[in-house]
Structure 1
Amino acid sequence: MSDFDLFRISEDHEGLREAVRQVCEDKIAPHAAAVDEESRFPQEALDALQATDFHAPHIPEEYDGVGADALATCIVIEEVARVCASSSLIPAVNKLGTMPILVAANEDIKRRYLPPVARGEAMFSYGLSEAGAGSDTAGMTCKAIEQPDGTFLLNGQKSWITNAGVSEYYTVMAVTEPDGPRGRNVTAFVVEKSDEGFTFGAPEKKMGIKGSPTRELHFDNCVIPGDRMVGERGEGLKIALRTLDHTRVTIGAQAIGIAQGALDFSLGYVQERKQFGRAIAEFQGVQFMLADMAMKLEAARQLVYVAAAKSERGDADLPFFGAAAKCFASDVAMEVTTDAVQLLGGYGYTKDFPVERMMRDAKITQIYEGTNQVQRIVMARQLLKG
Structure 2
Amino acid sequence: MESTGEGRSETAVATEILEFLRGYAGQRLDSRRMDERRSLPPSLVSDFAAAGLFGLQVPAQYQGLELPHRETLRVVTQLGAIDANLMVLAGVHNTLGTPPVTHFAPERVKKEVLPEVAQGRRLITSAISEPGMGSHVNAITAHAAKRPDGSYVLNGDKQWISLGADAGYVNVFARLHDERGKPIGITGFLVDTATPGFDRGPEVLTLGLKAVPQNRLTFNDLHVAADSLLGAEGEGLAAAKAAFMLGRVTLAAGGLGAMMRATELAHRFARRREVATGLLAENGRIQQILADSAAATQAVETLVQHIGTGLDEDGAVADELLFTAKILGCELMWQVVDSCVQLMGARGYVDTNVVGQFFRDYRLFRIFEGSTEAVTVYLGTTILNKPGKFTALLDELAEPGVRELGAEVVELATATATTNDQQRHVLANAVGNMACWTVLAAVTAAAADGGQMRAYSAAWCERQLRERLRDARSGVAVDLPTSDFLAEHIAGYGASIGDVEQRTLGEQNGMDQLLLRG
TM-score normalised by the chain length of structure 2: 0.68
Alpha-carbon distance in 1 for matches of 2:45, 2:341: 28
Is it true that 1:384 corresponds to 2:392 in the alignment?
no
Equivalent residue for 2:334?
Answer: 334
Letter paired with 1:91: A
Aligned to 2:249: 249
Q: What is the aligned partner in structure 2 of residue 148 from structure 1?
A: 148
Distance in structure 2 (CA, Å) of the matches to 1:186 and 1:159 = 17
Amino acid at match of 1:61: A
More deviation, 275-284/228-237: 275-284
In the alignment, the residues of structure 1 paired with residue 50 and residue 269 of structure 2 have an alpha-carbon distance, to the nearest angstrom, of 33
Matched-pair contact (CA < 8 Å) for 2:165–2:201 = no
Instruction: Note if contact 2:55-2:66 (Cα within 8 Å) is conserved in structure 1.
Output: no
- For the 8 Å contact 2:189–2:228, the answer to whether it is kept is yes
- In the alignment, which residue of structure 2 is the partner of 1:77? 76
Matched residue, 1:35? 34
TM-superposed CA distance for 1:316, in Å, is 5.1
CA distance in 1, matches of 2:120, 2:45: 9
Equivalents in 2 of 1:87, 1:248: separation in Å?
17
Deviations along 1:141-179, whole A, 9 cap, x unmatched?
111111223221111111110011111110000111287
Distance change in 2, residues 1:130/1:49 (3 Å): same
User: 2:161 is matched with which residue?
Assistant: 161
| Aligned position for 1:319 | 319
**In 2 relative to 1, CA 369–23 (structure 1 residues): closer, same or farther, beyond 3 Å?**
farther
Q: Which moved more, 1:264-273 or 1:110-119?
A: 264-273
Letter matched to residue 78 of structure 1: T
- Map of 2:218 onto structure 1: 218
Letter in structure 1 aligned against 2:67: A
**Cα distance change, pair 17–114 in 1 and its aligned pair in 2 (3 A):** closer
Task: Note if 1:258 corresponds to 2:258.
Answer: yes
Q: Which residue of 2 aligns with 1:171?
A: 171
Partner Cα distance (1:14, 1:163) in 2: 24
1:53 is aligned to 2:52: yes
For residues 213 and 253 of structure 1, the distance between their equivalents in structure 2, rounded to whole angstroms, comes to 21
Instruction: Give the Å deviation of 1:275.
Output: 2.3
With over 3 angstroms needed to count, the CA separation of the structure-2 counterparts of 1:92 and 1:284, relative to structure 1, is same
SS across alignment from 1:324: helix
Question: What is the aligned partner in structure 1 of residue 355 from structure 2?
Answer: 355
> Structure 1 pair 350/335, CA: closer, same or farther in 2 (3 Å)?
same
The structure-2 alpha-carbon separation of the partners of 1:294 and 1:20, relative to structure 1 and needing over 3 Å to count, comes to farther
SS of the aligned residue for 1:349 comes to coil
2:175, 2:333 → 1: CA distance?
Answer: 36
- In the aligned structure 2, how far is the partner of 1:23 from the partner of 1:195? 38
CA distance in 2, matches of 1:166, 1:31: 21
User: How much has 1:354 moved relative to structure 2?
Assistant: 1.3
Deviation at 1:376, TM superposition (A): 2.5
3-state SS of 1:156 partner: strand
Residue of structure 2 in register with 1:101 after alignment: 101
| Deviation of 1:119 (Å) | 1.2
Aligned residues: 374
Separation (CA, whole Å) in 2 of partners of 1:128 and 1:338: 30
Give the 3 Å change call, closer, same or farther, for CA 139–25 of structure 1 in structure 2.
Answer: same
1:81 positional shift? 1.2
Task: Name 1:298's counterpart in structure 2.
Answer: 298
Bigger drift between 343-352 and 298-307 goes to 343-352
After superposition, the C-alpha distances for 1:302-352 in whole angstroms (9 at most, x for unaligned) are: 111211222334555432211111211101110011011101112211213
What pairs up with 1:176-195 in 2 under 5 angstroms?
A: 176-177=176-177, 185-195=185-195
Contact 1:103 1:243 in 2 (8 A): no
- 1:11-30 mapped onto 2 (5 Å cutoff): 12=12, 15-16=15-16, 18-27=18-27, 30=29
SS of residue matched to 2:173: strand
Residues 1:252 and 1:24: Cα distance change in structure 2 (over 3 Å): farther
Give the RMSD, CA atoms, in angstroms: 2.2
Aligned-pair CA distance for 1:124: 0.6
State the alpha-carbon separation in 2 of the partners of residues 276 and 88 from structure 1. 40
Superposed displacement of residue 12, structure 1: 4.2
Structure 2: gaps spanning 5 or more residues: 1-9, 390-518
CA contact (8 A) 1:31 1:44 kept: no
Residue in 1 that maps onto 2:66: 67
What secondary structure, in the 3-state scheme, does the structure 1 residue paired with 2:306 have? helix
Q: Tell me the TM-score normalized by structure 1.
A: 0.90
Q: 1:324 to 1:315 in 2, by over 3 A?
A: farther
Q: Which has the larger radius of gyration?
A: 2
Give me the whole-angstrom Cα distance separating, in 1, the residues matched to 2:22 and 2:261: 14
Instruction: Report the counterpart of residue 132 of structure 1 in structure 2.
Output: 132
Which position in structure 1 is the counterpart of 2:115? 115
Task: Describe the superposition over 1:63-113 as per-residue Cα deviations: whole angstroms up to 9, x where unpaired.
Answer: 100111111111111101111000111221112111111222221121121
Q: How far did residue 292 of structure 1 move?
A: 0.7
CA distance in 1, matches of 2:139, 2:14: 43
Compared with structure 1, are the counterparts of its residues 14 and 173 closer, same or farther at alpha carbon in structure 2 (3 Å cutoff)?
Answer: closer
Q: Which amino acid aligns with 2:221?
A: N
Distance in 1 between residues matched to 2:262 and 2:249, nearest whole Å:
20
Aligned CA distance change for structure 1 residues 266 and 92 (closer, same or farther; 3 Å): same
